């Protein structure tokens, strides 16, 4: 009894490699774009959760909680592009380095995006409402600024929303903010 071994010929193997190479070349740009969109969505969600956490903490602890841009993680200097901190305090206008304040959350900015704020800090009252005026942060990814730009808006009622670039074109009541 003879056993016949079957396999690929060199020609069949080369054709298979060429077809596989073409599929990979076509698929990589789409995969890169998908990964970039996923990263942007994740970063925006993390920023939104920072505000949601601060609001919930203010209500649950019956204290004021502020979220502000911070270059060093200890003071509010409006440097949103460096990161943000959330801190709890009893007095409505307290700063994070004053007595009876507690930093409850810190987030360093990533190198993949810039963040621009139109106010220095957001302060949630014990009721969950925002003290003072509403404000927003502009999320500007460094890879594709115009297409992936988003705006995180915190209303006076404490609600946090995200608007994409296309949604912002339809909204007339928000002030103009640009990534450049």
Question: Is a pLDDT exceeding 70 seen at residue 146?
Answer: no
58 within a domain of the structure (yes/no)? yes
- Quote the CA–CA distance of 131 and 92 in Å, as a whole number: 8
Q: Which domain CATH number covers 129? A: 3.55.40.10
- Tell me which H or E stretch contains 17: helix 10-61
Q: In total, how many domains does the chain have?
A: 1
Question: Is a pLDDT exceeding 60 seen at residue 8?
Answer: yes
Confidence of residue 36 (pLDDT cuts 50, 70, 90): confident
113 within a domain of the structure (yes/no)? yes
**Segment 46-73, tens digit of pLDDT:** 889 999 999 999 999 999 999 999 988 8
Per the structure, the complete domain to which residue 44 belongs is given by: 35-66+109-170
**Segment 88-103, tens digit of pLDDT:** 998 888 888 888 889 9
44 within a domain of the structure (yes/no)? yes
21 within a domain of the structure (yes/no)? no
Read off the pLDDT of each residue in 139-165 and give the average, rounded to a whole number: 84
Confidence of residue 145 (pLDDT cuts 50, 70, 90): low
- The model carries a pTM of 0.78
């Amino acid at each position: 009894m003879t056993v016949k071994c079957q396999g690929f010929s060199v020609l069949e193997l080369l054709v298979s490699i060429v077809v596989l190479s073409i599929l990979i070349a076509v698929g990589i740009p789409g995969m890169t774009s998908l990964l970039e969109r996923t990263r942007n969505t994740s970063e925006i969600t993390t920023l939104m959760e920072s505000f949601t956490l601060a609001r919930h903490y203010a209500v649950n602890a019956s204290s004021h909680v502020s979220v502000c841009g911070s270059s060093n993680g200890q003071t509010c200097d409006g440097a949103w592009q460096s990161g943000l901190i959330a801190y709890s305090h009893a007095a409505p206008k307290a700063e994070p380095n004053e007595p009876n304040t507690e930093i409850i959350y810190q987030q360093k900015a990533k190198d993949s995006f810039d963040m621009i704020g139109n106010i220095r800090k957001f302060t949630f009252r014990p009721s969950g409402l925002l003290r003072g005026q509403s404000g927003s942060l502009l999320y500007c990814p460094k890879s594709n600024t115009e297409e992936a730009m988003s705006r995180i808006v915190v209303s006076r009622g404490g609600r946090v929303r995200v608007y994409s670039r296309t949604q912002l074109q339809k909204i007339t009541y928000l002030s103009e903010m640009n990534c450049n």
